Each structure stands twice: as C-alpha cells, then as structure tokens.
Structure 1
Amino acid sequence: MTATTVAEPAETPAVRAALWRRLVGSPLIWAAVCLALTVPWFLAGQGMEFVPYLLMLVGGWLCGFAFVNATLSMTPARTGAVVHVLGAVIAAAFVWFAVDVAPALLEAAPEWVAAGFVILQFAAIPASAWIWLGLISRATAAIGARDARRAAGRPARVTPEWERATHGRGSAVRFAAVPLRMSTLTGIIIAITLVGGILCTVALIAVDDVVMNLGPRFAIVFVGVFIALPAYLLFRRRMRARTVDSVVEFGDDELRLVIGADAAVQRLPYRDLELLVWRARSDYARLEVRGSGLDVSLVAGVAAPRDGFTAELPPLSRRVIGRLQDLGLTLERRRRGEVLVFRPGGAHRP
C-alpha cells in the first residue's frame, strides 16, 4: 500500500499581511531598531553624540511602553497589576546595578561588551521611568476610583452592556469614545515621544553638572516629573476634551451608528461593509467601520468614560459574530483574539 502524503497548506497572503502588520505595529520591534542603530556610533567611538543618545532614549521608552501596555491587557486585572509592580522593581534594580555595580565589573570586559551594556544602561532610564509613571498612574486611578465609590456610595465601574436597540431590531451598546483614527493616535504618541526625547536631551544637557553630582537616579525622577508626566497629562486632557457619547447598534441586516448626543443615525447595510474592527479592552479599545462612503473610527480606550462605566467595549456577542459570518464576512482574530476584524470574502450561508 502506498502512503499518501498530505501537503501542508500554503501560507495565505492574508496571514502574511497580518503577520507583517503585527511586526510593523510592535513597539519592541521599533525599540530593537532604535537600539541597533546606535551600534555604528559606538563602534566609531561616538556613542554619546546627540543622534545615538536620542535613539537610546526612544528605544528604552518603547520597551517601557510595550511592557505597560502588556500589563494593562492581562486578565484578570490583578495579574496585570502584580506583573507591573514586579517589572517596576526589576527595572529600578537594574538601573541601580548598572550605575553602582556594573562599571567595576566591566573594567576588564571587551570593548564591545562594555558598549552593549552602555546602550542598555541608557535605554533602561526612560524604560524604568515610563514603567514607574504607568504604575503611579495605575495606583492613582485605583485609589481615586475607590475614594469616589466610598464618597458617593456607588458600585464599582462596570463594562458597558448590551441592550435592546432603539432604532430598529437588534442589540446596542452606548459608550464614550474619541473619534480618532489609529494611525493618528499612533502619530500623536510618536510625536510626543520624539518631542519629549528632544526636550529630555536638552534639559539633561542643561543640568549636566547636577546630573553628574546626583547620579542617574536623579535623571529618572527629573524625566518622569518634568517631562513624561506633563506630556501624559496633556495627552489625557486632550483626549477627554474630544470625548463624545456614541451608540452602535447591530440589527439583522445593518449596522447603525449615532456619534454625538444629537447626531443623526448613520446606517450601513452589512452587504456594503468593507471593514469592521472590534477591540473590547486596553487603551486601544475601539470600533472601526468602513463601507459605502462611511469611514468611522471610535477609540473608547482613551476617552473619558461615562459615569459608572469603564473606558471599554463589551465583547462582541456570538449572535452578532454568527450573523456577520452568515452574510459572507470573514473573521480574523488578532492580538491573541482580543481584536476581531471582519472583511468581505467568505461564502454566504443561507
């Protein structure tokens, strides 16, 4: 009997495109690029020039940014908080080790080893600062929410819930969101990072004598208090000012949107849907809808939440997912299933 060989399914263009998007959108990939670009300067003996110095700061911040986002997306939330605390302690311990212990150990090390450690040392400063800033923000938000509940006697904030639609058959959810494209949000974060990095460099150069006398730990506090914290508060205030009440309804054959308190209902038949993105949790919790002239992106994760509710979206119901797939839309799950992406392309099932 002749054995039959089953060919492995070829990697589809959609899978390759999804992998490429994940790589391009990964902060850790860009952090590695920034840190790798500093190597030629160190090999040339110019590692402390302005450009490599800025690259080390940006690369370190991206590492801290990726870590904080990862902890915020963990479930349950208590696990993310514990990991965040451990990461903050480890980051601070590494900075202490890099400043007070490592220099003596690296005196006899090869030049390339010492250069690599210097890159990690300078990258660790903004990474540690961002991790601790995120932890402070997390603790402040938790304490503020607890105090507010105690003062008002209200229950803890809950995720927005599905309810009966008011503009036709189907289910609906009301939530607060900022009308903002993800590309614009990413650009704002990158711009804040670059401007903050430049300001940080200029400020540290201006107070160079003080930094040399007080050490890198002072630099961490200085960057966090005078640059990172104001930038974060300004960004948060700007996002909250742009927050609007929004409603999305999933009917039997159409999607309905109401963006703003007195806005008209925007209707999009499922057959005209070109893209639907649904992410329930994290700072990037959002709804993206495109098709038939409609192009909407509502980011709930950065908005000022409604009273009693979190800045999230509820998980998309099985009924809605099944209905969209029955009408010929294909489902792609990204970010370990946290992001649901629907596009045309599946076979219609009656």
Structure 2
Amino acid sequence: MSSDPLRTAVWRKLVLQPLVWAAALLGTAIPWYLSGHGLDFVPYLLVLVGGALCGMTFVNATLSMKRTGLGAVIHFVVAVVVGGAMWWLVFRGNTILDDSPGALKSAVLLVQMAGIPAVGWMWLGIISRLSSLASKPSTKDPERVAPVWEEQPTGTLVHFAAITMPLRTLIVIMVATIAAAGSLTALALIAAEYYLGIVSVRFTLIVAGALVALPAYLFIKARFSRRTVPCTAAFTQTQLLVTTGTEQHVFRYSQIEKLLWRCTSDYARIEVHTQDSTLTLITGIAKAPRTVLGQLPELSRSTVRSLNEGGLAKKRTKRPGLTEFCRVPSTIPGSKDLLRP
C-alpha cells in the first residue's frame, strides 16, 4: 500500500528542520538533568548539539528576512540580550539560585548548557556578517552584483557558482560537525577536570566558544568552498538545461515533478525533482567570484509561462525569494487511474 504523499512531504519537511532536532535532543536530555546527572557525557553532548541547532535556526531566520537591515538589527539585539542573560546566569545567577528547588536548578543548568553553544553560534553569525561587510569591494573595485539572465536564441541563461549537494546532506554535515565539536568539548572538559581539577560553566564557555566552535565554523566554510563548481541554468520553451562543471543535465518540463528556485539567503539554490532523480545546486554557501553575489535572479515571466505550459503550477510560499513549482495532478501520466476508487 502506497504512503500518503502529503504525509510524506510533511514528514520530510519536519526532518529537515534543525529546530525539530534541537527539541528532540533537549527533550531527551531532560530526565538526566532532573535526576542530577546533567553533566554526564551523553546529556551534555545532547544539550550542546541541541543548543547549537537553536542558535543556527535563529541565525538562518534572520538571514532569510526580506528586509536584510531589519534582520541584521534583530540578530545583533537578540545576540546581545541573550548573551547578557547567559553572562548573568553563569557569573551571578548561581548564587541567587542556591536556595531554589532542585527542579528549578536543573532547568537553569539545562538552559545554561544549551545557551552556551546557541550564543556562540549567534556571535559566529555576527562575525560572518562583519566579514562580509569587510570583504565588500571599495569604490575603486567593481561592485558586487547578483547573477543576471542572458538572452539566448532559445531562451534565457544564467551563470553562477554552486555546490552539488542535497539540502539534507548539508544539514547532516552541519549537525555532524556540531556533534564532533561537542564531543571534543566534552573530552576537553573531562581532561581538564581529571588533570587540572578545573571545570565550570565559565571554563566550558571558553572551551566551547574559542577552542571548538570557531574552528568548526571555519572547517565548514572551507569544506564548502572546495566543492564549488561553475554552473549554468538555461530555460527554453520546453526544457531546462543545467551544467555543473563538465556535466550537463537535461530536464524536459514534462518530466519535472517539482522545481524549487530560491534567490537569496545561505539556502539560495535550485532543486529539480523527477521520478528518477533529484538535482540540487546550492549557491548561497558556495564560493562565488569577488564581483558576484551568491544569489540567483528571479525567474522571468516568459520562463514562468513556459513552466505553466509544461504542466507545472506555481505554489504559494511564505519564505522571501522562494519560488516553487509542482506538477498539476491532471498532467501526471496515469493520474486519472490513480484517482479511481
């Protein structure tokens, strides 16, 4: 018996949400904290990864805001406020909570341990924003611009740099890197307690932030830069032609089941889904030339019309810069038979 396509689509969206994984990890660690064993290796690692995923979700949300200036302000204000709250909990709050019930202390400890990587990820995001500003060309250098469409005899074409990688793989790499960083932090704390006799939330903050989180962030950035390849996407009246390096992919509109086109943010990408294959090109995190932004241009009206004529209907989405096309059920071969009772 075939599964419900709607239920499958909802399940896939939930699995790809870092915040869902964060909630699952933090929820799993709660019994350890309530029993007074929150600093054991397993719950410590669960909370560390869960907190980092919370920080990642917040940073990605601000980067995805349509008003980029407002997103930067919200990012900075929340990072300062949450960072100040964490500073108070680490250096001042413990003395005030000495006479509090055990459950409250456990909850505060969980918030402390999850907040450390979350705040660290927020400030890494601010560092990334500042580095982007610092790397902007001066008035003497060419201005950075987004890729633009080039008119061709058969349609339109755009050049861009991208990474050939499914979105779920990108999330897995990030989660695995965070987990590895959390394990290194835990091992460093265990070694510090055993050999030096020093371990505290303050020491955890230093180890997790300066010695682990920043190198992990630089590792992810360097890994994605090495996998960047030059790409093109050409839309004609009947098909989409995509080149990735030396490879060429041809998709007739009648073969495409779903086409996702996201113009901006770190998740700017192309996704082409057919019955036999899926191609994902992520340009938001790719290493683009100095004069080109890691973005994609909006689809032209003629391209949208050609996609509609090929049986693909545009879906409504709430995310800015995201355009999604799905095949109309009546144009799927054999769909009438599938609808029969």
Which TM-score band applies after superposition, normalised by the shorter structure? 0.7 to 0.9
Alignment root-mean-square deviation, CA? 2.5
The answer for the alignment partner of 1:32 in structure 2 is 23
Report the alpha carbon displacement of residue 327 of structure 1 after superposing the two structures with TM: 2.3
Q: Contact (CA 8 Å) 1:329, 1:342: kept in 2 or not?
A: yes
The C-alpha deviation readout for 1:104-127, integer Å capped at 9, x for no partner, is 332332222221111111111111
* Structure 2 CA distance for aligned equivalents of residues 315 and 211 of structure 1: 57
Mapping 1:247-258, distance limit 5 Å: 247-258=232-243
Aligned residue among 309, 316, 322 for 2:299:
316
Within the alignment, does 1:107 sit opposite 2:98 as a pair?
yes
* Structure 2 CA distance for aligned equivalents of residues 318 and 211 of structure 1: 66
Report the alpha carbon displacement of residue 66 of structure 1 after superposing the two structures with TM: 0.7
Aligned residue among 138, 145, 148 for 1:149:
138
Distance 1:54 1:312, change over 3 A: same
The C-alpha deviation readout for 1:134-165, integer Å capped at 9, x for no partner, is 111211221122xx324xx1243121111213
Aligned residue among 231, 253, 265 for 1:282:
265
2:125 alignment partner AA:
G
Within the alignment, does 1:186 sit opposite 2:147 as a pair?
no
* Structure 2 CA distance for aligned equivalents of residues 283 and 320 of structure 1: 24
* Structure 2 CA distance for aligned equivalents of residues 338 and 16 of structure 1: 25
* Structure 1 CA distance for aligned equivalents of residues 15 and 169 of structure 2: 15
User: Is the partner of 2:264 in helix, strand or coil?
Assistant: coil
* Structure 2 CA distance for aligned equivalents of residues 61 and 210 of structure 1: 28
Mapping 1:61-100, distance limit 5 Å: 61-100=52-91
The answer for the alignment partner of 1:267 in structure 2 is 250
Report the alpha carbon displacement of residue 86 of structure 1 after superposing the two structures with TM: 0.7
Q: Contact (CA 8 Å) 1:289, 1:295: kept in 2 or not?
A: yes
Count of residue correspondences: 328
* Structure 1 CA distance for aligned equivalents of residues 127 and 206 of structure 2: 13
2:292 alignment partner AA:
F
The C-alpha deviation readout for 1:4-40, integer Å capped at 9, x for no partner, is xxxxxxxxx6665544433322222221211111121
* Structure 2 CA distance for aligned equivalents of residues 18 and 338 of structure 1: 21
- In structure 2, runs of 5+ residues without a counterpart are 332-341
* Structure 2 CA distance for aligned equivalents of residues 294 and 129 of structure 1: 38
Distance 1:214 1:191, change over 3 A: closer
The C-alpha deviation readout for 1:165-204, integer Å capped at 9, x for no partner, is 3xx5111111000111222212211211111110111112
* Structure 1 CA distance for aligned equivalents of residues 196 and 204 of structure 2: 6
Within the alignment, does 1:331 sit opposite 2:314 as a pair?
yes
Q: Contact (CA 8 Å) 1:211, 1:219: kept in 2 or not?
A: no
Mapping 1:124-163, distance limit 5 Å: 124-145=115-136, 148-150=137-139, 153-163=140-150
Q: Contact (CA 8 Å) 1:175, 1:306: kept in 2 or not?
A: no
The answer for the alignment partner of 2:208 in structure 1 is 223
Q: Contact (CA 8 Å) 1:35, 1:55: kept in 2 or not?
A: yes
Identity %: 38
Q: Contact (CA 8 Å) 1:129, 1:221: kept in 2 or not?
A: no
* Structure 1 CA distance for aligned equivalents of residues 329 and 196 of structure 2: 60
Range with greater deviation from structure 2 (117-126 or 214-223): 214-223
Aligned residue among 324, 329, 336 for 1:341:
324
Q: Contact (CA 8 Å) 2:269, 2:283: kept in 1 or not?
A: yes
* Structure 1 CA distance for aligned equivalents of residues 195 and 264 of structure 2: 42
Range with greater deviation from structure 2 (192-201 or 72-81): 72-81
* Structure 2 CA distance for aligned equivalents of residues 26 and 52 of structure 1: 21
- In structure 1, runs of 5+ residues without a counterpart are 1-12
The C-alpha deviation readout for 1:32-59, integer Å capped at 9, x for no partner, is 2111111211233322211111111111
Q: Which has the higher contact order (CA 8 A, sep 6+)?
A: 2
The answer for the alignment partner of 1:169 in structure 2 is 154
The C-alpha deviation readout for 1:214-246, integer Å capped at 9, x for no partner, is 964453343222212212212211211111111
* Structure 1 CA distance for aligned equivalents of residues 202 and 316 of structure 2: 42
User: Is the partner of 2:219 in helix, strand or coil?
Assistant: helix
